[in-house]
Structure 1
Amino acid sequence: MSEPAPALHWTHEGQARSARWHSESRAAPPRRVVEALDNSFSADAAYRLACEGTALLWCGDFQNARQLLQALARRVERRPRKAPAPAASPAEAFHLHRQAQAQRARVLAMLLIPLQADYGIALRRAPDVRAACTEAYGPAGAEGFVVSLRELLGLVGAHEWRKKGVEIAALGARIHPHYGVFSPVRGEYVQLVADAPLPSQALAFDIGVGTGVLSAVLARRGVQRVLATDQDPRALACARENLARLGLGERVQVLEADLFPEGRAPLVVCNPPWVPARPSSPIEHAVYDEGSRMLRGFLGGLAAHLAPGGEGWLILSDLAEHLGLRTRDELLGWIEAAGLTVKGRLDARPQHPKAADASDPLHAARAAEVTSLWRLAAR
């Protein structure tokens, strides 16, 4: 029996009200909620309430709510009058950055929007978000609920990304990411898979398929059969849709599995999350992997799933090493303990804008980052 949905409680003209609460990050509903109309609060007053943990349930003009959210974001991002003490280490800088991100997310999540049962918004100048909500939440239910405006705008942005798609040079085609599935905007890791010498074109496993981009690259390179796995229902649906759109649905079979499918293959590919830290939302599972669970699981099971003479391709950034969250010796130790040897490695420098952004608090680590395709074999 499923647990009842959490509820949000507030008062309207002296009467107790409640509604279902939904949060993709699984945040608990705010304990204190006040209704807010246009000009009910100044941006400074709204910011103080949000910092204190009081949520604003918006009942006015939708576009005014968007403007207030922008005003709250500007206040969150104001530099303190006194510069903070420099971090003692890259790891401390990373943890302080994550704390600041979490605090920003908590404050901005305090502006709430009610959704009707069909995902409509009964506010003036509200956009039609029903398609975006259906893609993210699934078919509409029997009752409405309340979400943060920040989450709702994220759904709308993901809906636009899904329609437009991301151009993948190695494919000469677009990949269309679904909400909650990490977009392949960093082309260097895709290009590494496109360039590495194939040990075989008979069969490949793609562990953690995501959008399906690496399976598509392998199939386009001539691999006759690809078995792709993932545990996330959104990723499974996204990969199947992308591969069908590219005409590769018959050559790539997408399976729900924790890491490996049954059997062995001459090529096993995995692009695990790169940073060993706790994810705070579903989309972050593609970047953060607490305790390097997926990385260590892939390495630990790889030898048992490689055909004789086969290769495992581990696509991994060394950002965690530059942040002091994992050492190269640890990685090499896990490879050796798994009964694997390194046959070779292809490296690529990142091309994303943050690598050149000197104002980014993690700039030094990002500027030094290298993404590698490790060619591994069983000893």
Structure 2
Amino acid sequence: MNPLSTKDGGRRWLTTVGSKPPRNVVAVDDAITADEAYRLAVAGTGLVWHGDYPNARNLLSALSRRCGTAAGKPFQEQRNHQSRRARILGGLLVPLDPGHVLPLRRGPDVRVACTEAYGPSETASLVSLRELLGVVGAHEWRMKGVEIPALGAKIHPHHGVFSPVRGEYVDLVARTPLPTKELAFDIGTGTGVLAAVLAHRGVGRVVATDNEPRALACARENFGRLGFSGLETLEADVFPPGRAPLVVCNPPWLPSRAHTPLERAVYDPGSRMLHAFLDRLPRHLEPGGEAWLILSDLAELLGLRTRERLLAAFERSGLEVRGREDTRPRHPRATDPRDPLHAARAKEVTTLWRLTARAAPVPD
């Protein structure tokens, strides 16, 4: 273990998750023990790796084991544990030379993956090894794509955009009877998968909105690959201007704080997006039109929201339930007893709520 070199000290900090660089850093290599690395990381010291790349990955695994598990703990304790674990594991850093070249023995070529995530680089930088592995994994998913049976094609997620690996919500949109084939809004489009399913089913025009530029770029690329006409993207907080006879929204399912930008696809503090969607929906739904709200009941099973509160939110926004479609999750975590949320996931139901605006009372 050595003091950080001037070269390392002048490197630019890279992150897409908003993490802050450690205040104190030291240069380490293959000689450091896992126990010593864990002690330093817990204290908030950044460890800049200069050894063999596979050994860095081994050290990251050893640090993860030392962080323990929160399985069986209440949900919020699990979230706090995840946050602490992310901080500790994020303390193992690797250098990148200009052009995103990884200067470690037996290190992979990460140039394309890093350029996709961070943009071009002409300066030396530092990045958390844990984040770098996520960047490389996201690049591999982007190249491989996710098979969507309802499309008979693949969707290619970008780094920082939630991947549609949970296919049950896609199947709900693919099978629910369409109230129109004229126009639909897809709110919070992400990869664009639901907008693409609607177009595949014959909806002539779909306006897909998101407030994340990364998501909109991802959706546009997927629309181009699929070759559907009538698919539009628009950066918007929630709704585009105007009204539509069909509005689709798959908001984050859990009303809890997100720790990273990617988690914002899953966690919605205070159900802010859900309530914004419901409260503004009547102004963007054509008379007699239908909104499809896709929600899992996982929040209810975890004690984060009650069914009564959800139904009361519908009522407060002037909405009525026209019908619903339910399905059970098929993803591996739903049947994995090692998953910390297994007890809730084993009972989980995902619902497509068919909502319509309540008719205004007719004056005497």
TM-score bracket, normalised by the shorter chain, equals over 0.9
Q: Which amino acid aligns with 1:36?
A: V
1:191 matched to 2:171? The reply is yes
Which residue in the other structure is 2:93 paired with? 112
Which residue in the other structure is 1:246 paired with? 226
1:161 matched to 2:152? The reply is no
How far does residue 144 in structure 1 lie from its aligned partner after superposition? 1.9
Q: Is the 8 A contact 2:5 2:27 kept in 1?
A: no
Which residue in the other structure is 2:123 paired with? 143
How far does residue 166 in structure 1 lie from its aligned partner after superposition? 0.5
Q: Is the 8 A contact 1:186 1:352 kept in 2?
A: yes
> Which consecutive residues of structure 2, in runs of 5 or more, have no partner in the other structure?
359-364
1:374 matched to 2:353? The reply is yes
Which residue in the other structure is 1:264 paired with? 243
Which residue in the other structure is 2:152 paired with? 172
> Which consecutive residues of structure 1, in runs of 5 or more, have no partner in the other structure?
1-9, 88-92
Which residue in the other structure is 1:64 paired with? 55
1:279 matched to 2:258? The reply is yes
1:353 matched to 2:332? The reply is yes
Tell me, in whole angstroms, the C-alpha distance in 1 between the residues paired with 2:193 and 2:170. 8
Tell me, in whole angstroms, the C-alpha distance in 1 between the residues paired with 2:15 and 2:77. 24
* Structure 1 pair 280–188 and aligned structure 2 pair: CA distance change class (3 A): same
How far does residue 240 in structure 1 lie from its aligned partner after superposition? 0.3
Out of 287, 290, 298, the residue aligned to residue 277 of structure 2 is: 298
How far does residue 15 in structure 1 lie from its aligned partner after superposition? 9.8
How far does residue 315 in structure 1 lie from its aligned partner after superposition? 0.4
How far does residue 76 in structure 1 lie from its aligned partner after superposition? 2.0
Q: Is the 8 A contact 1:115 1:146 kept in 2?
A: yes
Deviations 1:182-234 (A, max 9, x none): 00001100000001010000000000010010000000001000001001011
Q: Is the 8 A contact 1:11 1:17 kept in 2?
A: no
Which residue in the other structure is 2:105 paired with? 124
* Structure 1 pair 196–42 and aligned structure 2 pair: CA distance change class (3 A): same
Deviations 1:293-347 (A, max 9, x none): 1110110111111112100000011110111111111111111111110000000
Which residue in the other structure is 1:230 paired with? 210
Q: Secondary structure at the match of 1:157?
A: helix
Tell me, in whole angstroms, the C-alpha distance in 1 between the residues paired with 2:220 and 2:6. 51
Sequence identity of aligned pairs in percent? 63
Q: Which amino acid aligns with 2:21?
A: P
Which residue in the other structure is 2:81 paired with? 100
Tell me, in whole angstroms, the C-alpha distance in 2 between the residues paired with 1:351 and 1:298. 27
Which residue in the other structure is 2:9 paired with? 17
Tell me, in whole angstroms, the C-alpha distance in 1 between the residues paired with 2:8 and 2:46. 16
Q: Which amino acid aligns with 1:179?
A: H
Tell me, in whole angstroms, the C-alpha distance in 2 between the residues paired with 1:55 and 1:16. 12
How far does residue 18 in structure 1 lie from its aligned partner after superposition? 3.3
Q: Is the 8 A contact 2:14 2:118 kept in 1?
A: no
Range that drifts further, 310-319 or 43-52: 43-52
- State how many pairs are aligned: 357
Q: Which amino acid aligns with 1:369?
A: E
User: Please, what TM-score do these two structures have when normalized by structure 1?
Assistant: 0.91
Which residue in the other structure is 2:132 paired with? 152
Which residue in the other structure is 2:186 paired with? 206
Tell me, in whole angstroms, the C-alpha distance in 2 between the residues paired with 1:36 and 1:62. 12
Tell me, in whole angstroms, the C-alpha distance in 1 between the residues paired with 2:273 and 2:300. 17
Which residue in the other structure is 1:90 paired with? none
| Equivalences for residues 335-354 of structure 1 within 5 A | 335-354=314-333
Tell me, in whole angstroms, the C-alpha distance in 2 between the residues paired with 1:135 and 1:11. 32
- RMSD of aligned Cα (Å): 1.7
Deviations 1:253-274 (A, max 9, x none): 0111111111111100000000
Tell me, in whole angstroms, the C-alpha distance in 2 between the residues paired with 1:14 and 1:308. 66
Tell me, in whole angstroms, the C-alpha distance in 1 between the residues paired with 2:87 and 2:313. 37
Q: Secondary structure at the match of 1:343?
A: strand
Tell me, in whole angstroms, the C-alpha distance in 2 between the residues paired with 1:361 and 1:132. 31
Q: Which amino acid aligns with 2:109?
A: D
Which residue in the other structure is 1:7 paired with? none
How far does residue 26 in structure 1 lie from its aligned partner after superposition? 1.4
Q: Secondary structure at the match of 1:199?
A: coil
Deviations 1:85-132 (A, max 9, x none): x75xxxxx1101111111211111111011122111122211110100
Which residue in the other structure is 2:362 paired with? none
